[in-house]
Homo-oligomer: A and B are copies of this chain.
Amino acid sequence: MTINSRGVDTKNTILNVSLSLFTQNGYDATSVAEICRQAQVSKGAFYHHFPSKQDLFLALMTSWLNEVSESFRASVESSQNIPLAIENIADQSRSLYDALQDGFPILLEFWRQANNDPEIWQQAIAPYRRFLSFFADAIQTGIQAGDFDESLDPDCSARIIMAVAMGLLLQASFDPEYEKWHQVTQAGIKLVLNSMRTTK
């Protein structure tokens, strides 16, 4: 174990533990002391790797955002057409629901913090808008390919699709015992896509 990997290990442990704790108890209710305890690391080590608690949170958020972004892009590239790609993305929600047993999905904790902390908001609004235009662009492509009705507003539709996904995730976080969230998500997306399809 070189000097470098020692530090990297500690940092990753802190990242993993804090992700789990933020998910379980939320940002405010998670103390740095508790993170250190579970990561079996001293407070000094913590502040050696992260300037502040908020900075750690930001690191988690941008990392998660990048993962999701990459996963979306991969879905579109591996699908034959846009409607299928969107269904594909909805299908990936299964992993989100599986991780839900641990508590409030971390996405929503990001969301909540972004509403209260201007600095976090600033780092979150840009990726959010990227997601929006990602879907809007996809829908635009779908329209040109004849898969969607040409009278469709891509931006508006993108927000609706994101709403279905997030709204169901929100409900699933609250009522995780219900087992069919994944099916409901697929049904919901199909319902929306159905109305978006060309009527001709």
Q: How many copies does the complex hold?
A: 2
B residues less than 8 Å from A128 (CB atoms)? 174-175
CA distance A25 to B194 in the complex (A): 40
**Cβ-based interface call for A41 (8 A):** no
CA distance A92 to B110 in the complex (A): 28
- Whether A114 contacts B174 by the Cβ 8 Å rule is yes
A interface, how many residues as a size bin? 35 or more
CA distance A156 to B26 in the complex (A): 29
Contact segment of A68-76, A81-89, A184-192 = A184-192
Taking Cβ atoms with an 8 Å cutoff, the residues of A that contact B are 24-26, 28-29, 103-104, 108-109, 111-112, 114-116, 121, 124-125, 128-129, 153, 156-157, 159-160, 162-168, 170-171, 173-175, 180, 183-184, 187-188, 191-192, 194-196
